[in-house]
């Protein structure tokens, strides 16, 4: 009786094997999930590599060495220029002015005038004046100005500024334009050119140079004042080249 009563239970109860056989399977991953899992594994693999490359002492030392080398070359160049100023001040300032006038005229022709072809004669004359007139004249003028005005501080800087901008600059701009037009083979246009462009050039000169020259005379030692002025001179040379080469309008 006990065996008979137990038989239906054995027939109804599922077998362990059948339980395993009919265990529900996990839902298949979507394509996006698979891609996400793969990308996550790739990121996990790349993290150590990136950390190794970023934290590589050899790479860091190489980068630091490159920066230090560039800085050292820059300091050597500055030291060489300052030594040249001490040994050959006039020649160094003349060559520097020539380079800046050359660059200024080229920028003016290519960027402002947008000429189809460079006027090499114009560039040569403009550069020549930078070499033989601008650099040497500014050297002598700044040296004389420092001896003429011996006051220090703001009062001395203002005094030098007034002499530089209201006595020297008007004369120098007129001389420069006159020589430029003459050397370019147009001496008959000197007077019309001055009437048309001299005063507007002087106004542009004051707008650019008065703020800078005050700082230059106030903070910069005399022997470095031409060097400091060269940082502004490139922009001024572009303006001066444009003014000096504008076509004279017949009146």
Domain boundaries along the sequence of the chain: 90-244
More confident residue, 33 or 86: 86
Give this prediction's pTM. 0.69
SS3 (DSSP) at 4: helix
The segment with the largest mean pLDDT, out of 25-39, 52-66, 92-106, 220-234, is: 92-106
pLDDT at residue 68 greater than cutoff 90: no
The residues, any chain, with a CB within 8 Å of residue 192's CB and separated by 6 or more, are 248, 251
CA end-to-end span of the chain, whole Å? 139
Q: What is the pLDDT of residues 137-147, one digit of tens each?
A: 999 999 999 99
The pLDDT, as a whole number, for residue 44 is 52
Q: Which has more pLDDT, 244 or 72?
A: 244
Do residues 165 and 210 lie in contact, with contact meaning Cβ atoms separated by under 8 Å? yes
pLDDT of res. 55? 56
Closest C-alpha among 194, 196, 151, 144 to residue 167: 144
- CB count within 10 Å of CB 123 equals 18
Q: What is the distance, to the nearest Å, from the Cα of residue 213 to the centroid of all Cα atoms in its chain? A: 21
Distance CA 21, CA 10 (A): 18
Q: Which residue has the higher pLDDT, 175 or 251?
A: 175
> pLDDT band at residue 25, thresholds of 50, 70 and 90?
low
Instruction: Specify the pLDDT at position 62.
Output: 67
Please check the confidence at residue 20 and state whether its pLDDT lies above 80.
no
The sign of the torsion formed by the CA atoms of 79, 85, 91, 95 equals positive
Residue written as tokens 């590589």? 56
């Amino acid at each position: 009786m006990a065996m008979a009563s137990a038989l239906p239970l054995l027939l109804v109860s599922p077998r362990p094997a059948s339980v395993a056989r009919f265990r529900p399977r996990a839902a298949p991953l979507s394509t996006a999930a698979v891609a996400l899992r793969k990308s996550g594994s790739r990121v996990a693999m790349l993290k150590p590599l990136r950390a190794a490359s970023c934290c590589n002492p050899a790479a860091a030392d190489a980068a630091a060495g490159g920066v230090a080398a560039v800085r050292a070359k820059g300091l050597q160049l500055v030291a060489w220029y300052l030594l040249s100023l001490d040994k050959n001040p006039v020649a160094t300032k003349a060559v520097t002015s020539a380079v800046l006038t050359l660059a200024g005229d080229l920028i003016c022709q290519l960027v402002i005038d947008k000429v189809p072809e460079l006027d090499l004669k114009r560039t040569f004359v403009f550069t020549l004046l930078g070499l033989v007139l601008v650099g040497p004249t500014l050297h002598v003028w700044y040296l004389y100005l420092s001896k003429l005005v011996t006051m220090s501080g703001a009062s001395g800087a203002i005094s030098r500024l007034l002499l530089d901008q209201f006595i020297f600059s008007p004369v120098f701009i007129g001389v420069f334009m006159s020589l430029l037009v003459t050397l370019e083979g147009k001496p008959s246009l000197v007077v019309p050119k001055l009437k048309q462009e001299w005063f507007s050039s002087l106004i542009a000169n004051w707008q650019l140079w008065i703020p800078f020259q005050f700082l230059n005379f106030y903070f910069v030692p005399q022997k470095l004042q031409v060097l400091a002025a060269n940082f502004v001179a490139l922009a001024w040379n572009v303006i001066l080249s444009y003014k000096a080469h504008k076509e004279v309008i017949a009146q």
